[in-house]
Amino acid sequence: MASSNLSDAQLSSSESAPVSTITLLTMFRLGLYQMGLGMMSVLALGVMNRVMIGNLAIPATIAAGAIAMHQFVAPARVWFGQRSDSRPILGYHRTGYIWIGTVIFAIASYVALQVMWQLGSAERGSEFYGWVGVLGLTFAIYGLALSAGSTPFAALLVDVSDEGNRSKLVGVVWSMLMVGIVIGAILISVLLKQVTNDTPVAVMQASINRVFVIVPAIVVGLAVVATAGMEKKYSLYRLRSTVRDREDKITFGRALRVLTASRQTGIFFTFLLVMTISLFMQDAILEPYGAKVFNMEFSKTTLLNAFWGTGTLIGISTTGFLIAPRLGKKNTAKLGCLLVAACFILLILAGFTANETVLKTGVFLFGLCSGVVTTGALSLMLDLTAAETAGTFIGAWGLSQAMARALATVAGGTVLDLGTKLFSAPVLAYGLVFAVQACGMILAVYLLSRVDVAEFQANAKQAIASVMQGELD
C-alpha cells in the first residue's frame, strides 16, 4: 500500500546535470509495474487473509504472521538496491532484477495458496504447525523476489527522472499503484462472485486457484510492458556517476556508511516505522471485520480494497496539486497523520451501526487521508536520499516500510486475538485494533516534528565526498 526516493537537491547541484526526456505517457507506462504490485497486494491481504481467518478458522495471529513473512525479509531490499547499483545483469542495472523478481514472486504466490489449503485441512498438532512453517517460508521467498524486483524498479525511477519531472513521476507511478488495487479488487470480486460465506471449501478452492493463476500472469505481463527498453533509452545513471567504474568504488559497506552519516536518517526511519505500522495494522483484519461485524459476503469484503484504493488515489492526486504546495511536505505529512487517526475512530463507530454503507464511507475516507500522509512522506523521502547511493537509500526506506508492514500485519492479528479474549462483542475486539492505530498516528506526528531535511543533506553530501575519495576504507 506502499516507495521511491531521491534528493532533487543532490541531482541538481550542477548546472550541467543531465536532463530527463521522459514524457507523461512514458510515466504512465512505468506506472504499469506499480499497478501490477497493487493487484498482487489484494491477493495476499484481500483474499488469503480473509480465507484463513474467516473461512478456514485459522487464528488471526498465525495467519497474519505467515503473510507478514514476506515483509520480514525486507533487509534484503538494501542488498538488492546496492547490487543493482553495482552489479548489472546483461548490461542493465535495473531491468534484469525487475523481470526475474517479478516472475519468481508470481510463482511463489500460487505456491503459497496451495500451502494455505493444506494448512486449512490439517489437524491441530505437529502437522498443522509444520504447514504453518512451510507457509511462512513460501511467503519469505515471495518477499525476497518482491524485494529483488521492486527496489531496482524504484531506483530506475530515479535514474530516468530529474528535478523537473521527478515529483510528477512519483505522483503518476504511485497513483497507478492505487489504480492497481482498485482494478485488482474489482477483478477478483467479479471472479469470486459465486463464492459466498456458505460455499464449501472444495468449491471455493477451485475458484480461488483460478484467480491466483490469472492475476499473477497479468502482473508479469504488465512488468514487461512497463520496463522493456526503458533503461536503455532513458536511464541517466552512468551520466550522473562522478567516479569512473563507480560500481567498483562504492561497496555495500561504504554505501551503508553514507546511509548512517546523518542522525536524521535514523529519525526519519523511526517515523516511517511508526507511521506505517499505525497505517496498516488493519490490513489483516479489515475484510474479516466486514464479514464478522457487518455480515458481508466474500465479494463485498474484497471490494473494500476498491473503496480504500479509490480514496487513496484521490488523496494522492489532490494533495500533490493542492495541499502540499501550500502547507509544505512536513506539515502535509503531519496533517495526514491526524486525519488518519480521526478515520480510525470513525471506523470504530461504524461497527456499532453494522451498516455496510457507513463502513464503506469510513474506508473511503480512510483511503483519502492515507493519500495525504503518503504524499507527504514520499515527498520527504525525495529529500532524504543521496544521489550517489540511490539504490541503497531506496532499499533502506523500503526496508523501513516493509518491516513496518510486517510488524503491522502481525500486530493487527495479535491485537485482534487479544481483543477477542477481552471482549465478547466482535465490534469491540476489532475496535481495539483501530484504537491502537489512532494512538500510533499521534506518536508519528511527534517524531515527524524532529525531522530536519537541511541537516541530512549537509551530512550526506560530506559522507559521499569521503567515500569517493576512499577515506572510508
Cell 516511517, located at residue: 272
Instruction: Write down the pLDDT at residue 8.
Output: 37
Instruction: Write down the pLDDT at residue 436.
Output: 96
Instruction: Write down the pLDDT at residue 465.
Output: 58
Residue 184, Cα to own-chain centre: how many angstroms?
Answer: 15
Instruction: Write down the pLDDT at residue 12.
Output: 39
Q: Please work out, in degrees rounded to the nearest 5, the angle formed at the alpha carbon of residue 444 by the alpha carbons of 438 and 447.
A: 155
Q: What cell numbers appear for 59 in the block?
A: 487464528
pLDDT tens for the chain, residues 1 to 473: 333 333 333 333 334 556 667 888 999 999 999 999 999 988 877 788 888 887 788 888 888 888 888 878 877 877 887 788 778 888 888 889 999 999 999 999 999 999 999 998 888 888 899 999 999 999 999 999 998 998 889 888 878 877 667 667 877 887 888 889 889 888 888 888 887 767 787 888 888 999 999 999 999 999 999 999 888 888 777 775 543 344 444 555 655 565 566 677 778 878 888 998 999 898 778 888 988 899 888 778 878 878 988 898 888 878 877 887 788 888 999 999 999 999 999 999 999 998 999 999 999 999 999 989 988 887 777 666 655 555 666 666 666 777 787 788 888 889 999 999 999 899 999 999 999 999 999 999 999 988 887 777 666 666 555 554 554 34
Closest residue by Cα to residue 153 from 316, 27, 4:
4
Distance CA 149, CA 77 (A): 9
Distance CA 146, CA 150 (A): 6
Residue 120, class by beta-carbon neighbours within 10 Å (0-12 exposed, 13-18 middle, 19+ buried)? middle
Query: To 10 degrees, the CA torsion angle through 323, 177, 71, 10?
Result: -60
Instruction: Write down the pLDDT at residue 167.
Output: 64
Q: Is 379 left (phi over 0), alpha (psi -120 to 50) or beta?
A: alpha
Residue 131, phi then psi, degrees to nearest 5: -70, -30
List helix spans (H) across 122-235: 126-159, 166-191, 201-227, 230-234
Instruction: Write down the pLDDT at residue 137.
Output: 94
Query: To 10 degrees, the CA torsion angle through 181, 185, 191, 195?
Result: 140
Report the predicted TM-score, pTM, of the whole model to 2 decimal places.
0.70
Tell me if 156 sits within 8 A of 229, measured CB to CB: no
Q: Is 223 left (phi over 0), alpha (psi -120 to 50) or beta?
A: alpha
Closest residue by Cα to residue 397 from 170, 78, 37:
78
Instruction: Write down the pLDDT at residue 9.
Output: 36
Instruction: Write down the pLDDT at residue 369.
Output: 94
Instruction: Write down the pLDDT at residue 112.
Output: 94
DSSP bridge pairs for 92 = 89
DSSP bridge pairs for 89 = 92
Tell me if 389 sits within 8 A of 259, measured CB to CB: yes
